[in-house]
A and B are shown apart, each in its own frame.
Chain A
Amino acid sequence: MSTILALVEHDAGVPRKVSLQVLAAARALADDVHAVAFGPGAADAAAALGAHGATTLHTFDDAAVTSYATGPHAVALAAALDASGAGVLLYPADPFLTDIVARTAVRRGAGVITDAVDLTVADDGLVATKAIFGGDMLSQCRVRDGHQAFVGIKANAFAAADDADGEPAAVSSLAVTLSDEDRRIEILDVVEQESGDRPEMTEASIIAAGGRGLGDAEGFQLIERLADTLGGAVGASRAATDAGWYPHQHQIGQTGKTVAPQLYIGSGISGAIQHRAGMQTSQLIAAINTDPDAPIFSIADFGVVGDLHKVVPALIDEIERRSE
């Protein structure tokens, strides 16, 4: 396969974990992988991205692309597609990048496949596997000939390279001119909640989730402790976010987020179909619930029938003891 362009996100020049997974997915398909990164410090990612297989890093380090105003990013992404000559774009399937890719796809006449968990090359091009209908079904999709293919990669579906020893990527600055049209969204403020060192839920390898069984907002302190003990993120059922016990952006399920971590541990979550639609493709599922008939046990790899207020503190102690 000819050149693949990988859209990467970075924090002050340090590529995010999912971006390295996207590079690994690209590298498995193509010999020549280019990367594109936006915002101040983008060029500082060249060494790490090169180590993970990118030969060239296209950058647009204008401050207009520091936070997600969409317009400037879409213009810069189109410029990177031209500069790299890539026929395939792989990107981390997160909401903001989805906006950017959506706009660019309309401009470029590209086809978009979101949330791919596997990629193969068939005679007629790239075939992506994704879960649909809340994980009830798997579909295999491709982009028709004659169109660029933009494919969003689901977090944790691919492993980042463990032999990251490539040469630094050559940095190439994109020539991008922004018009007033591209700057129609003004960002007035960016507010981040305190979450300690916890990873973001949609890209975490481990998620500790809590639901109605926690009883109140204070119950989430227990889930946060469990998450921190495992280096994971905190998720919540809709019952818990509706009750105001935890912020909505942590809601897993039909009307919230879809997650597929390596390990999901649900405490006090019965596992209604609407919740399962957001987490049932997790690689490993553990559940703690007082009700032996809770539907979550039908999809759990390991279940504990018991009181989470007793089991979770004991579990935290067990994990800490075994990690010493």
Chain B
Amino acid sequence: MRIICPVKRVPDTAADKHVDPQDHTVDRDRSDPVLNANDEWAIEEALQIAERTEGAEIIALCMGPDQAGTTVRKALSYGLDGAIQITDDAVAGSDAVATARVLAAALADEPFDLIIMGNQSSDARTMLVPAMLAEHLGVPALTYVKDLEIDGDVFTAKRETPAGHQVVRATGPLVVSVVEAINEPRYPTFKGIMAAKKKTVDVRDLVALGVDAAEVGLDGSRTAIVDIAPRPPKEAGRVVTDDGSGAVGAEALADWLVEQKIL
């Protein structure tokens, strides 16, 4: 079983975001970059699968600048076996379509049984990449998975829906995207962190992938950002302190709901 874990380097949700006024990209280095939270559940699931599957190998896949190396090492510190890092100035500013195209190109000559990834990244949250990656590779995608069972090359998953779940089945190789209900991620161990420093990271550029730089990045993406700006700050609202009975707070809140035409 060969498992690929695509991971993303994203600005910390709590960080101030700095935007380049010229090209509207976010200065990720000034935004406390971290490993995308939802990818941690994918890594955990891959580790659990590997623990019960003889000869399993897990490879991280990350597209990003040189500095994304820290994200790759973080992923490796959980105990993954190796990593592919795609670093090329030309991929900066890629949209979801271009990102999926580059990730797929990196896997064109890589054997895999399972690609497992977070269902969304916390920065753009488009949720597009798992299905787009699967489409490029010509394989099925089981998305929003909260429970995964594997029998040979048959994958059976509980797929979260707004109202409950579906039980779905497909034959691998395939893409699985996971939601956080799937497991409880472990923390990297000291041993894992030290071992990660020694693991091989296969760094490739677009030439190595055979991707035309004109089809990706800021200028090659099919979507373009025209403008980007902080959301206007909200005016401070009214706060009422209840008297301990609930009545004062409830009446004030109900008055406000009437004022706002909710009631």
Contact = CB atoms under 8 A, between A and B. Distances in A.
Contacts of A215: none
A85 interface: no
B180 to A, nearest CB: 5
Contacts of A285: 237
B140 A311 contact: no
A56 to B, nearest CB: 27
A185 interface: yes
A95 B130 CA distance: 12
A311 B96 contact: no
Interface stretch (B63-71, B117-125, B202-210): B117-125
Interface residues of B, number: 86
B72 interface: no
A305 B167 CA distance: 43
Most interface-central of B119, B131, B164, B222 (chain A CB within 10 A): B222
Contacts of A63: none
A94 B156 CA distance: 23
Contacts of A187: 166-168
Nearest to A189: B167
B37 A140 contact: no
Interface residues of A, number: 99
Which DSSP category, helix, strand, loop or mixed, fits chain A's interface?
mixed
Interface string A174-199: 00000000001111111111010000
Most interface-central of B164, B165, B236, B237 (chain A CB within 10 A): B237
A6 B210 CA distance: 36
A80 interface: no
Contacts of B131: 70, 98-100, 102-103
Contacts of A258: 125
B55 interface: no
A317 B250 contact: yes
Contact of A297 (B37, B124, B179, B239): B239
B231 A138 contact: yes
Interface stretch (A21-29, A38-46, A157-165, A248-256): A248-256
A110 B222 contact: yes
A156 interface: no
A273 B14 contact: yes
B73 to A, nearest CB: 22
B44 to A, nearest CB: 13
B162 to A, nearest CB: 4
Interface stretch (B46-54, B83-91, B193-201, B255-263): B255-263
A217 interface: no
Given A187-B166, A263-B260, A304-B249, A98 B97 contact: no
A79 interface: no
A107 B135 contact: yes
Interface of A: 67-71, 94-96, 98-103, 105-107, 109-115, 122, 127, 131-144, 147, 184-193, 195, 200-202, 206, 230, 241, 248-249, 251, 254-256, 258, 262-263, 273-274, 277, 281, 284-286, 288, 292, 297-307, 309-315, 317-319, 322-323
Interface of B: 11, 13-14, 17, 19, 24, 26, 37-38, 95-97, 100, 119, 122-132, 134-136, 140-144, 146, 156, 160-171, 179-181, 221-231, 234, 236-242, 244-254, 256-258, 260, 262-263
